[in-house]
Structure 1
Amino acid sequence: MAIEIERKFLVKSHDFKQESFQKKYIKQGFLNSAKERVVRVRIKDDQGFLTIKGPSNTSGTSRFEWEKEIPLNEAENLFELCEKGIIEKFRYLVEIDTHIFEVDEFLGENKGLLIAEVELNNENEIFAKPNWLGIEVTGIEKYYNSNLSKHPFVEWK
């Protein structure tokens, strides 16, 4: 059980790929996407996870998060119970100074969307911003994965 503190940004170029030290394939679905609690099942390469997130604070920067690794076959079976709209993406990890940026390159109906997140120790923590980082979208709900599953990027245009 922990409080997750992160900021979220659009990404304006693919330059992050040259700086990435790791790339993973992620598939995720939502068992519950209510504002009060999000329950997500995720497969990251060959590992399964179940995650519960609470509501965001006013700034959208902090929220409760609980995650547990589960057997891969159980994660695959839980996809049968998920709400409409499965998210698929590649996640790139990029180290900038003392922070790790997670950059998601979305696939499927969210193809073309690039979002970077950086986890922080506190909401006012200073961090270096790479040149490929675009505008901040922290707390803007349409960029939450649970919303992207229902209202994908392809429908925005």
Structure 2
Amino acid sequence: MQEIERKFLLKSTVNFKKEARKNTRIVQGYLNSNPERTVRVRIKGEKAFLTIKGISNESGLSRFEWEKEIPVSEAETLLPLCEPGVIEKVRYEVPVGKHIFEVDEFFGSNDGLILAEVELSTEEEEFEKPVWLGEEVTGRKEFYNSYLSKHPFKNK
């Protein structure tokens, strides 16, 4: 249950949408946003999840992640209990080479922010970088969703 991912800003916002094979609306909140153990409630399309994440390793590339699907009705009950700062975004799944990039376009207090993530099997795994991929922000706390829920992108 180790999550290994790299995160990037985008250079271009036009191309990735043309290449996306799917997009899903996501609403999520944090019952606990402490970086050592975040607890997230997420409604993703027609499904809902409770997720616990541990602190990132030194490189920021990997961390413990546990996730369980829960009924949407339970997630809707839990969201009002979350800390202030609900995250709203649309996630686009974009195939690139052997990988799927998840590109999140944020709305609400994080409107204007677009981030791309790619999950890897190992920290050293090679992957194809699309032309629209920009600066890498892996491990930078200001781009973690839990941080953005309390320190919105619009305030930067």
The alignment's TM-score, normalised by the length of structure 2, stands at 0.98
Q: How does 1:1-157 map to 2 (within 5 A)?
A: 2-14=1-13, 15-156=15-156
Distance 1:80 1:9 in 2: 30
Distance 1:140 1:118 in 2: 15
TM-align CA RMSD: 0.5
Distance 1:78 1:93 in 2: 27
Distance 1:145 1:18 in 2: 25
Distance 2:85 2:7 in 1: 21
Deviation at 1:131? 0.4
Distance 2:29 2:35 in 1: 15
Distance 1:78 1:146 in 2: 16
User: Aligned to 1:73, what secondary structure does the other structure show?
Assistant: helix
Distance 1:22 1:35 in 2: 30
Deviation at 1:37? 0.2
Long gaps (5+) in structure 1: none
Distance 2:69 2:23 in 1: 19
Deviation at 1:46? 1.5
**For 1:42-90, what per-residue CA distance to the aligned partner results, in whole angstroms no more than 9, with x for missing partners?**
0001211000000000010000000000000000000111001000000
Distance 2:109 2:80 in 1: 19
Runs of at least 4 residues off by over 4 Å: none
Deviation at 1:12? 1.7
The alignment's TM-score, normalised by the length of structure 1, stands at 0.98
Distance 2:86 2:145 in 1: 10
Distance 1:68 1:35 in 2: 19
User: Aligned to 1:78, what secondary structure does the other structure show?
Assistant: helix
Give 1:139's aligned amino acid: G
Long gaps (5+) in structure 2: none
Deviation at 1:13? 1.3
Distance 1:151 1:80 in 2: 19
**For 1:112-145, what per-residue CA distance to the aligned partner results, in whole angstroms no more than 9, with x for missing partners?**
1010000000001110000000000000000000
